[in-house]
Amino acid sequence: MAGRGRGRGRGAPFNVQFDDAGQKSIDQYWMYTRLVGGDMYDEEGREKLMSEEELCKYMKEKLPQRLENRLFVSWSSSTGMDCKEVGPETPCFCQHRFKQHKTDFDKIPTERPILLPCRVKNCKCAAYHYVPMSGGQTIRCSACKHPAAEHSEKEPYPCKKPNCQKCPGFKSSYSCGCGEPYYNHGMTVETKSERLARGHPVGQDVPFAAMGGLTGFSSNLEGYQRMDPSGRGAPNKEFLDQDITCQDDAYLRAHVNSLQAKRNANMLVDDLGGEIEEQESAMKREGETDLEFFERRYKERRKRELWNIAPVDPSSQSITTGVRHQRASEIQVGDIMPGPNPTGRNPPKSARGRGRGVKK
């Protein structure tokens, strides 16, 4: 009976503990994998570690490429919704990860579509293409019923299973969460300016390898889950604060009163908060000379003025457009595009949508 019933049961989680140094090493290793991406594997697919000098030299070469020539990669539907933003670990049809494909470019290719071939030895994948997962494995082929992973990575992607003769090439009628079938989707590989022109977010410039279409936390969701009909990203505050109308979801309509009460309470706190702050600030502090007092008050006033005329950030505008229900007559070009705004000011509070109960 030795060893039985003792220690870790089958399937029970490990309890691993690290001291500070161990934790730091893990963080460093994690950072290393993100910076180096697919370059951390040799030709045989084995992991290799760089010395600090090597990493320094590597980053000096790669950093400008990644900042200037980043390509944004997503799996999009025919309506332009990015159903899946590809990240460094997203598997390809060839079963290798996105970071194992070519993602760094000296110069952005002029031909479209841009192909991102696989770099793993003996893999014939000519261009990265995403294949959705269903129940823990890749979706099945409509012709032969075998999973996508059993098919060749070379066009026209025939089945590799022995004795499978009826498959001329992978095909699927799998229905994506957006409502469109698999075959109505395709890969979008685009530059920063092309993506901005499409009105999709580009996020911050990052030094990491193979970031694909990841631009923020909401990129990890499927397109239709990003609470915006376009699947671009999180909607802005005005969108969420729209009046609840009879066209809205029954859940929203049922809670119109409690939502209204909460909003009123928040407004009260906002107003009171500002007033208390002003009262405190108007009092002279202990040990403060007259000159110091006036200087502090002047600085506060300047700060408030600067806040009021804060320029509108065009990049944030392009992510935060959306309409919960299409009311074409109410949407003006200025609402959607970061167009000319002569004053550069944000609209006054009273002009923004404040809920006033159900409108009929």
The stretch among 17-25, 122-130, 202-210, 231-239 that binds Zn ion (CB under 5 A) is 122-130
Q: Counting contacts by CB under 5 A, is residue 164 touching Zn ion?
A: yes
The stretch among 156-164, 268-276, 304-312, 352-360 that binds Zn ion (CB under 5 A) is 156-164
The stretch among 43-51, 138-146, 192-200, 350-358 that binds Zn ion (CB under 5 A) is 138-146
The stretch among 157-165, 210-218, 257-265, 334-342 that binds Zn ion (CB under 5 A) is 157-165
Q: How far is CA 272 from the centre of its chain?
A: 36
3-state secondary structure of 258: helix
The structure tokens 């409108």 sit at 359
Query: Are 219 and 228 contacting, i.e. CB atoms less than 8 angstroms apart?
Result: no
Per CB under 5 A, the list member of 114, 131, 176, 209 interacting with Zn ion is 176
Q: Counting contacts by CB under 5 A, is residue 133 touching Zn ion?
A: no
Q: Which two tokens stand for residue 70?
A: 């980043």
The smaller minimum CB distance to Zn ion, of residues 85 and 244, is found at 85
Per CB under 5 A, the list member of 73, 123, 131, 148 interacting with Zn ion is 123
> What's the closest the beta carbon of residue 56 comes to Zn ion, in angstroms?
29
Torsion of CA 106, 108, 112, 117, to 10 degrees: 30
The smaller minimum CB distance to Zn ion, of residues 103 and 191, is found at 103
Interface of this chain with Zn ion, residues 57 to 86, rule: CB under 5 A? 77, 83
Q: Where do runs of H (alpha helix) occur along the chain?
A: 20-36, 52-68, 192-197, 237-240, 250-254, 256-282, 290-308, 314-319, 333-336
Give the H/E segment covering residue 84: strand 82-85
Query: Are 360 and 246 contacting, i.e. CB atoms less than 8 angstroms apart?
Result: yes
Task: State the Cα angle at 260 between 257 and 266, rounded to 5°.
Answer: 145
Interface of this chain with Zn ion, residues 306 to 345, rule: CB under 5 A? none
Q: Which two tokens stand for residue 336?
A: 């959607």
The smaller minimum CB distance to Zn ion, of residues 184 and 260, is found at 184
> What's the closest the beta carbon of residue 93 comes to Zn ion, in angstroms?
6
How far apart, in whole angstroms, are the C-alpha atoms of residue 101 and residue 18? 34
Q: Counting contacts by CB under 5 A, is residue 139 touching Zn ion?
A: no
> What's the closest the beta carbon of residue 231 comes to Zn ion, in angstroms?
8
Per CB under 5 A, the list member of 35, 118, 214, 234 interacting with Zn ion is 118
Per CB under 5 A, the list member of 70, 96, 200, 226 interacting with Zn ion is 96
DSSP annotation of 184 reads G
The smaller minimum CB distance to Zn ion, of residues 225 and 247, is found at 225
Q: Counting contacts by CB under 5 A, is residue 210 touching Zn ion?
A: no
Nearest CA among 266, 217, 212, 263 for reference residue 242 = 263
Reported residue count of the chain is: 360
Q: Residues interacting with Zn ion, by CB under 5 A?
A: 77, 83, 92, 94, 96, 118, 120, 123, 125, 141, 143-144, 146, 159, 161, 164, 167, 176, 178
